[in-house]
């Protein structure tokens, strides 16, 4: 597991991992923090924030030098090996160790264990992708899997754990600036013509803007109207002061939401919508590409409307009469235009409890894992070879310096979720609000005790938060979540340095300074006492 | 392999338990501590059957079928044993929310009342404080019970150990079978044995992560979501008028099936089907308890908290 705290962010997936551990699987966790996931690891590799490519390339060089590459797979299924091999040559164990902070022996052990395993999988999450070089990080991990043949076979592969219940489905449906539904390219003529024919109108062949590009376009006033569906960018995006300013100065902002979020409060028009997972019909796609049915359990409250109804009515106002299609009607249109989803009728999704794509026809059982074609003997069935990619270490955009000596990383906790719009709706003893998590070493150096209010300052903003001393943190790294933006707006601190290839922002690393403000109020376990009294009645 | 159950020949695959073989041919066996998704623990002994040639009755939930085995599920020894188990459990534990047990008590003619009226509940904390080897002398006027006040120490669920039959399911679900959090275990010995957090601390001070996977496996209602507990206390919990709808959890990308239990248009509970390949009936805190925002739409999310009011 690389840059993932699945024990808290994907708890039920972690149950399956724990079964693997009980069956003798070895777990290596690469993470700057010794997380509750890392607590289950045979080996924890506590690397410096942003040293991922350096570590992966160092492991690759060690695998190559130790003769542990999967030579026949490289020859059969990949391209670009020689250039890749040359590119990792400078990443000696000593060099990788110096950059990553992980001892030489530990890197060597991890490299040998991964390469020698009968089956091995690399799973990652936002620890890999929330960096300014996110795509390079991913490519560095893919390189390792190609090098060792741990891809395209049951029990191996590269597995990005999706963080939201339909982030995969959004991609499936073409909610990407360069894709049509079913991951068909908007700039591929055959794909585009098929949709133009079905929809009876031309489609702009130029890819649209992704989120970060939209933010730039708002800044340049080339984007002046925004329609936001179920997202809270005023609080979820990096450098929140800047984002808030841009949203406030749009000519027109429409927000379709289930709550009056901070973003909705800035809108000219709010369209109250269904919480479709419980109030409507449709599908979502989970992290294993399994398309699953969501169903209506309760009625919509107040003026809220079904999301397909809202879009159909919007279309009507714009001069297009779509009628009022059901979720299944819409899905059948998706199936008709997306070969990899064609076999998934609502009836089959029901019967099989979800189906993993590709599922090209109604007799196809779905596909457990991808890229098996790379192992085919017949070159025509093997298709395009998987390319090695040359990628190099480039640490975080902001490096610690005298003025901002600590690296702030952000992430999730078990009981909460994103900006708290959903997870703020219930109480639990685990909800402890926002804190600045700090290592015992830094706390001692800065004179901070548990619960003290500290001031955290980056080049973009300043916030106050209670300190939480976390023995899982190494000196030099502090940690916060984005879960309680109304109490502590963490994103005032984060940096809007984005990956040019994917547009993701570097939520995992910005430089900050921490100063004590005042000591903690004396501890008062008021809630526990309230419950004790109730229990005694 | 083939075996004979109540005079009927059955063919099953190697490794099949006697219980599974019985269910394949439609013979019902009562169970309490058994669950398909947990390792059999052989605690409750209600599923015992007689195997010819065996000295003692065997728990059908864990005993594997063997070639040529001759099994009796309704012999007088079996019936007598089940009757005794039911009498001892029903006299000492509140089984008012245990499904089917009333039918079994009638079927096996159990007379739990013959031990006398139930002893009054223990004072709070006294069962937790019991010391192994130290026992109060029995009081012949009363049937001994495990009754004590329900433990209400957090927002999400109630532990009413007056209803606990010590089936170990919660311990297994919290431990190695599913959650691997190990927040609870059986403490004490003999009649003083009870489920406990470490040093009997309240849940908020324990290792508990509030996944509620213990609630999901509890067969007696000793562990119950606060929503259900409060509605039962108010007399407004009526499963016959509820609907259930399977959908997908709105949080992370794992795709856990959520079964929403709805009463009069309001979600009152979330579970997950045992047979679901992703969850095996398990959820995390967000899946099991995090649905409340749906029915608290007037709240402004954030600092003042959607649902900080009665958001249960």
In CATH, what number is assigned to the domain containing residue B54? 3.10.20.740
Residue A526 main-chain phi, psi, to 5 deg? -60, -45
Q: Give, as one character, the DSSP assignment of residue A408.
A: E
DSSP strand pairing (A28-30 vs A43-45): parallel
Q: Tens of pLDDT along chain A (537 residues)?
A: 999 999 999 999 999 999 999 999 999 999 999 999 999 999 999 999 999 999 999 999 999 999 999 999 999 999 999 999 999 999 999 999 999 999 999 999 999 999 999 999 999 999 999 999 999 999 999 999 999 999 999 999 999 999 999 999 999 999 999 999 999 999 999 999 999 999 999 999 999 998 889 999 999 999 999 999 999 999 888 788 899 999 999 999 999 999 999 999 999 999 999 999 999 999 999 999 999 999 999 999 999 999 999 999 999 999 999 999 999 999 999 999 999 999 999 999 999 999 999 999 999 999 999 999 999 999 999 999 999 999 999 999 999 999 999 999 999 999 999 888 888 889 899 988 999 999 999 999 999 999 999 999 999 999 999 999 999 999 999 999 999 888 888 988 999 888 888 888 899 999 999 999 988 765 444 444 444 444 333
pLDDT tens-digit profile of B198-234?
Answer: 999 999 999 999 999 999 999 999 999 999 999 999 9
How close is the nearest chain B Cα to the Cα of A38, in Å? 14
Same domain, B263 and B309: yes
CB < 8 Å from A in window 122-181 of B: 124, 149-156, 176, 178-180
Set of chain B residues whose Cβ sits within 8 Å of the Cβ of A534:
152
B267 touches chain A (CB under 8 A): yes
Measured between beta carbons, the chain A residues lying within 8 angstroms of B296 are 425
Name the closest residue on chain A to residue B246, using Cα atoms: A295
Is any Cβ of chain A less than 8 angstroms from the Cβ of B204? yes
Chain A partners of B254 at a C-beta cutoff of 8 Å?
Answer: 10-13, 161, 286-287
* Residue-range domains of chain A with CATH: 6-161 (3.40.228.10), 167-356 (3.40.50.740), 406-521 (2.40.40.20)
Residues of A whose CB is below 8 A from B149? 535-537
Alpha carbon distance B151, A536 (integer Å): 8
How far apart CA B110 and CA B116 sit, in angstroms, is 14
Residues in B closer than 8 angstroms to A421, CB to CB, are: 293, 301-302, 306
Q: Are residues B295 and B221 in the same domain?
A: no
- Say if residue B163 is in the same domain as residue B244: no
B-chain residues within 8 Å CB-CB of A299? 265
**Shortest Cα distance, chain A CAs vs residue B17, angstroms:** 22
In terms of Cβ atoms closer than 10 Å to its own Cβ (0-12, 13-18, 19+), residue A400 is: middle
Q: Same structural domain for residues B16 and B46?
A: yes
> Do both B246 and B310 map to the same domain?
yes
Q: Which of B245, B282, B283 sits opposite A295 (nearest CB)?
A: B245
| Domain end among B59, B74, B89 | B74
Would you call B274 an interface residue with chain A, using a CB distance cutoff of 8 Å? no
Q: State the complex-level ipTM.
A: 0.93
Q: Is the confidence at residue B310, as pLDDT, over 60?
A: no
Q: Is residue B213 part of a domain?
A: yes
CA-nearest of B237, B227, B219 to B268 is B227
End position of a domain, from candidates B191, B206, B235 = B235
Q: Comparing C-alpha atoms, which of A32, A34, A35, A85 is closest to residue A60?
A: A85
Task: Check whether residue B229 and residue B249 sit in a common domain.
Answer: no
Does B55 touch chain A if contact means CB atoms closer than 8 Å?
Answer: no
User: A12 contacts in B (CB within 8 Å)?
Assistant: 254, 256, 278-279, 282-284, 287
- Does A536 contact B290 at a Cβ distance shorter than 8 Å? no
Q: Out of B254, B255, B286, whose CB is closest to A415?
A: B286
CB contact under 8 A, B285 and A162: no
What CATH number corresponds to the domain at position B203?
3.30.70.20
Instruction: Point out the domain boundary residue: B193, B215, B235.
Output: B235
The answer as to whether B181 is a domain residue is yes
**Beta-strand pair A510-518/A453-457:** antiparallel
Residues of A with Cβ-Cβ distance to B252 under 8 angstroms: 9-10, 162-165, 417
Q: Give CA torsion, residues A327, A332, A338, A340, to 10 deg.
A: 90
Residue A276 CB contacts under 8 Å (≥ 6 apart), including other chains: A282, A294, A306, A307
Q: CA neighbours within 13 Å on the CB side: how many for B103? A: 7
Pairwise CB contact (< 8 Å): B287 & A12: yes
Taking CA atoms, A490 is separated from A32, A235, A322, A485, A497, in Å, by 19, 9, 42, 7, 16
Q: How far is CA B121 from CA A437, B96, B129, B148, B149, in A?
A: 44, 16, 15, 5, 7
Which stretches of B76-225 are DSSP H helices?
76-92, 101-107, 169-174, 213-217
Nearest to B253 among A165, A275, A534 (CB): A165
pLDDT number for residue B305: 39
Partners of B180 on chain A (C-beta within 8 Å) are: 15, 18, 40
Contact with chain A for residue B16, Cβ under 8 A? no
Q: What are the pLDDT digits (tens) for A417-430?
A: 988 888 888 989 99
Q: Are residues B39 and B23 in the same domain?
A: yes
Give strand pairing partners of B262: B243, B267
B155 in the same domain as B120: yes
Please name which of A157, A66, A166, A171 lies closest in space to residue A110, comparing C-alpha atoms.
A66
Is residue B134 included in any domain, yes or no?
no
Q: How far is B42 from chain A (nearest CA, A)?
A: 22
For the stretch B2-13, pLDDT in tens is: 999 999 999 999
Count Cβ–Cβ pairs < 8 Å, chain A vs chain B.
228
| Total domains present in chain B | 3
Give the nearest partner residue to B209 out of A277, A430, A484, using CB atoms. A430
Query: Are residues B223 and B275 located together in one domain of the fold?
Result: no
Taking contacts as CB-CB distances below 8 angstroms, the residues of chain B near A353 are 257, 276-277
> How many angstroms separate the CA of residue B213 from the nearest CA in chain A?
11
Range of the domain at B43: 2-74
Tell if the CB–CB gap between A417 and B290 is shorter than 8 Å: yes
Q: Do residues B259 and B186 share a domain?
A: no
Residue at B218 is within a domain: yes
Contact yes or no for B245 and A296 at CB 8 A: yes
Asked if residue B137 is part of any domain, the answer here is no
Q: Are residues B38 and B51 in the same domain?
A: yes
Using CA coordinates, name the residue in chain B closest to A170: B253
Q: Does B98 fall in a domain?
A: no
**Residues B120, B209 within the same domain:** yes
Q: Does B253 touch chain A (CB under 8 A)?
A: yes
CB-CB contact of A396 with A50 (8 Å): yes
* Gap from A485 CA to chain B (nearest CA, Å): 7
CA distance A226 to chain B (A): 22
- Chain A contact present for B200, CB below 8 A: no
Question: Using N-to-C axis directions, what is the helix angle for A327-337 and A189-199, rounded to 10°?
Answer: 140
């Amino acid at each position: 597991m690389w840059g993932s705290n699945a024990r808290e962010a994907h708890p039920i997936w972690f149950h399956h991992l724990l079964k693997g551990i009980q069956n003798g699987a070895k777990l290596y966790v690469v993470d700057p923090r010794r997380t509750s996931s890392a607590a289950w690891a045979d080996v924890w590799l506590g690397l410096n924030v942003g040293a991922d490519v350096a570590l992966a390339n160092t492991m690759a060089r060690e695998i190559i030098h130790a003769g542990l590459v999967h030579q026949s797979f490289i020859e059969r299924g990949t391209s670009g090996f020689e250039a890749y091999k040359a590119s990792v040559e400078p990443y000696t164990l000593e060099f990788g160790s110096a950059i990553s902070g992980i001892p030489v022996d530990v890197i060597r052990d991890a490299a040998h264990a991964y390469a020698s395993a009968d089956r091995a999988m690399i799973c990652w999450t936002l620890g890999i992708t929330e960096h300014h070089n996110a795509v390079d990080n991913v490519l560095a991990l893919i390189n390792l899997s190609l090098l060792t043949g741990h891809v395209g076979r049951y029990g191996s592969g590269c597995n990005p754990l999706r963080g939201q219940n339909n982030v995969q489905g959004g991609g499936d449906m073409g909610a990407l600036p360069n894709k049509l539904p079913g991951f068909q390219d908007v700039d591929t003529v055959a794909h585009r013509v098929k949709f133009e024919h079905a929809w009876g109108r031309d489609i702009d062949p130029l890819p649209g803007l992704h989120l970060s590009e939209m933010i730039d376009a708002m800044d340049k006033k080339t984007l002046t109207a925004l329609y936001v569906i179920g997202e809270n960018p005023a609080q979820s995006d990096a450098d929140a002061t800047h984002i808030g300013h841009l949203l406030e100065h749009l000519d027109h902002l429409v927000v379709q939401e289930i709550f009056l979020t901070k973003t909705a409060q800035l809108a000219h028009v709010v369209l109250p919508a269904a919480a479709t997972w419980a109030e409507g019909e449709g599908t979502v796609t989970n992290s294993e590409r399994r398309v699953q049915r969501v169903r209506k359990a309760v009625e919509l409250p107040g003026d809220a409307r079904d999301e397909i109804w809202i879009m159909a009515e919007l279309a009507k106002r714009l001069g297009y009469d779509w009628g009022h299609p059901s979720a299944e009607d819409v899905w059948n249109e998706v199936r008709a235009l997306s070969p990899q989803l064609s076999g998934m009728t609502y009836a089959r999704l029901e019967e099989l409890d979800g189906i993993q794509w590709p599922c090209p026809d109604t007799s196809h059982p779905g596909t457990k894992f991808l890229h098996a074609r790379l192992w085919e003997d017949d070159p025509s069935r093997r298709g395009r070879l998987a390319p090695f990619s040359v990628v190099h270490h480039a640490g975080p955009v902001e490096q610690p310096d005298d003025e901002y000596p600590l690296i702030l990383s952000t992430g999730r906790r078990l009981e909460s979720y994103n900006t708290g719009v959903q997870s703020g709706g219930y109480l639990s003893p685990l909800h402890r609000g926002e804190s600045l998590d700090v290592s015992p070493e830094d706390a001692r150096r800065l004179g901070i005790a548990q619960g003290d209010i500290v001031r955290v300052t980056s080049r973009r903003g300043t916030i106050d938060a209670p300190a939480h001393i976390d023995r899982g943190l190494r000196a030099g790294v502090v940690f916060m979540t984005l879960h309680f933006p109304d109490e502590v707006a963490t994103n005032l601190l984060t940096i809007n340095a984005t990956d040019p290839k994917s547009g993701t922002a570097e939520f995992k690393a910005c430089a900050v300074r921490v100063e004590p403000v005042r000591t903690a109020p004396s501890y008062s376990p008021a809630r526990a006492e309230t419950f004790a009294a109730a229990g005694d009645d | 392999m083939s075996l004979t159950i109540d005079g009927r020949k059955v063919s099953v695959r190697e490794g099949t338990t006697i219980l599974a073989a019985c269910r394949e041919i439609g013979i019902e066996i009562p169970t309490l501590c058994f669950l398909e998704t947990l390792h059999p623990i052989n605690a409750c002994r209600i599923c015992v059957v007689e195997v010819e040639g065996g000295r003692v009755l065997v728990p059908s939930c864990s005993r594997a079928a063997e070639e040529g085995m001759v099994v009796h599920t309704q012999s007088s020894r079996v019936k007598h044993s089940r009757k005794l188990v039911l009498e001892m459990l029903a006299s000492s534990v509140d089984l008012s929310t245990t499904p089917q047990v009333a039918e079994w008590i009638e079927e096996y003619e159990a007379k739990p009342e013959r031990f006398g009226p139930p002893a009054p509940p223990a004072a709070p904390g006294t069962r937790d404080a019991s010391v192994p080897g130290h026992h109060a002398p029995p009081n012949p006027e009363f049937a001994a019970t495990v009754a004590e006040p329900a433990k209400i120490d957090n927002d999400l669920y109630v532990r009413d150990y007056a209803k606990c039959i010590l089936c170990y399911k919660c311990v297994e679900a919290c431990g190695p079978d599913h959650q691997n959090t190990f927040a609870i275990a059986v403490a004490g010995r003999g009649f003083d044995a009870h489920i406990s957090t470490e040093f009997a601390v309240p849940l908020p001070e324990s290792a508990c992560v509030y996944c509620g996977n213990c609630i999901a496996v509890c067969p007696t209602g000793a562990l119950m979501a606060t929503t259900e507990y409060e509605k039962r206390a108010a007399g407004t919990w009526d499963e016959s008028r509820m609907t259930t709808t399977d959908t997908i959890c709105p949080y992370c990308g794992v795709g856990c099936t959520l079964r929403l239990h709805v009463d009069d248009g309001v979600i009152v509970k979330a579970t997950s089907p045992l047979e679901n390949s992703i969850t095996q009936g398990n959820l995390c805190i967000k899946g099991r308890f995090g649905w409340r925002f749906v029915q608290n739409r007037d709240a402004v999310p954030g600092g003042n908290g959607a649902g900080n009011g009665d958001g249960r």
